Copies of this chain bind each other. A is one copy, B any other.
């Protein structure tokens, strides 16, 4: 789970042995299936440059173990020929446990390798509790409710945490609204109790992996997945790999300064992006403008007000889009992921809001042949994070060892 400490020596890369080659090749075949969808052996051979014979040898054990299944023959190309048998993940095989831990609430799911949610469960806990043990118990209960009794096939469990984490040891560093959980080594504790490997990571990063394996990030080499709402966070896939930073310390985009000397942030500094791109700003502005239900304002209700032509709503709608675009444009300037997948509250702003953000982002950037950045709203809805928990496990299991 380690990814190199700040300034620490890079671990010396291990050489490619034949044993590793077959593992890497298997991972690449599976990755192609994730990225593109069902593919025949001949398709895979063309894509990977290998011969059909090699692909056959690689997929045979996967079919025997039930990981992959042959689907119905595909329609034949004009001119005839033997119809191809597309391969894809069995709807139920290779189950992965997934947990989303938020202050006061635990969601768990069982997800198949192909991204089917096979079971879900919820648990509650008092957000301000100091009894971290009871939270661990609740996580275990939620997992027990979804994990099958037969745990031989289980790959592992992914846990997404809405707070700062240490991905090296799998512990929680700090959660804003649940201070009692600070320092809790949730990953090892859960791993001991259920006897499976556990991968714990930041919520927006898990969400990004949901997009990467099961959403609009499939087959895309670089993109950023942004969560908005009460807070703001980002997970980034760069050149096909999720980026964490040492011990998972990256992704805290909400506290990048976009307005030096601006509003006070709850982090103590001034002008963080969070001060102008989250509910707090939206609701304060809505109150200032005298909009109805300002204290519970969301992007969805604002969009409806603006559509109805409510005085001031249109202006706030545009300003909020501009504020969101500010941080996105900064990210594009630095890393140019090219695609931004937005999750959370903003999605309810609808196409009008999406295009307003995209327009503002593009207006803020100089032209480059690399192309204009695209803003997309997630199609995974509330499944994103739980699928992302599974993606966390997949990313580790399929991580190319070479």
**Is A247's beta carbon under 8 Å from chain B?**
yes
**Which of A72-80, A288-296, A329-337 contacts its partner?**
A329-337
B164 and A368 contact, CB distance less than 8 A: yes
Contacts of A402 in B (CB 8 A): 16, 24, 400, 402
The answer, among B6, B15, B48, B238, for a CB contact under 8 Å with A54, is B15
Contacts of A329 in B (CB 8 A): 256-257
| Residue in chain B with minimal CB distance to A20 | B16
**A244 CB → nearest B CB, Å:** 8
**Which of A95-103, A118-126, A216-224 contacts its partner?**
A216-224
A3 and B239 contact, CB distance less than 8 A: yes
B48 and A248 contact, CB distance less than 8 A: no
B333 and A253 contact, CB distance less than 8 A: yes
A330 and B21 contact, CB distance less than 8 A: no
Stoichiometry (number of copies) = 2
A252 and B334 contact, CB distance less than 8 A: yes
Contacts of A342 in B (CB 8 A): none
Q: What is the bound-complex CA distance between A256 and B374, given in angstroms?
A: 18
Contacts of A8 in B (CB 8 A): 220-221
Contacts of A349 in B (CB 8 A): none
**A19 CB → nearest B CB, Å:** 11
**A382 CB → nearest B CB, Å:** 24
B258 and A336 contact, CB distance less than 8 A: no
B15 and A50 contact, CB distance less than 8 A: yes
Q: A13-B28, A48-B12 are in contact. Are A253 and B334 (CB under 8 A)?
A: yes
Q: What is the bound-complex CA distance between A168 and B364, given in angstroms?
A: 24
The answer, among B49, B248, B251, B400, for a CB contact under 8 Å with A334, is B251
| Residue in chain B with minimal CB distance to A246 | B370
Q: A245-B335, A335-B250, A402-B24 are in contact. Are A35 and B6 (CB under 8 A)?
A: no
A25-53 at interface with B (beta carbon < 8 Å): 25, 28, 31-32, 35-36, 47-50
B10 and A256 contact, CB distance less than 8 A: no
**Which of A109-117, A193-201, A259-267, A386-394 contacts its partner?**
A259-267
**Is A279's beta carbon under 8 Å from chain B?**
no
The answer, among B6, B24, B31, B337, for a CB contact under 8 Å with A245, is B337
**A255 CB → nearest B CB, Å:** 6
Contacts of A222 in B (CB 8 A): 4, 6, 245-246
Contacts of A54 in B (CB 8 A): 15
**Is A211's beta carbon under 8 Å from chain B?**
no
**A89 CB → nearest B CB, Å:** 18
| Residue in chain B with minimal CB distance to A234 | B334
Q: What is the bound-complex CA distance between A219 and B262, given in angstroms?
A: 39
A368 and B14 contact, CB distance less than 8 A: no
**A42 CB → nearest B CB, Å:** 14
Encode contact with B along A320-342: 1 for CB under 8 Å, 0 otherwise.
00000010011101111111000
Residues of A within 8 A of B (CB): 3-18, 21, 24-25, 28, 31-32, 35-36, 47-50, 54, 164, 166, 168, 173-174, 219-223, 234, 236, 238-241, 243-253, 255-262, 267, 269, 271, 276, 326, 329-331, 333-339, 364, 366, 368-374, 400, 402
Beyond A173-B369, A249-B336, 19 additional pairs, beta carbon < 8 A: A6-B336, A6-B338, A7-B371, A7-B374, A10-B240, A11-B221, A13-B32, A13-B400, A14-B50, A15-B50, A18-B21, A21-B21, A246-B336, A246-B338, A249-B370, A250-B336, A257-B326, A258-B259, A330-B330
Q: List 19 A-B contacts (CB under 8 A).
A: A6-B373, A6-B374, A8-B220, A10-B35, A11-B221, A12-B48, A13-B32, A13-B400, A15-B54, A164-B368, A222-B246, A238-B243, A246-B336, A249-B371, A250-B336, A253-B334, A256-B334, A258-B260, A259-B271
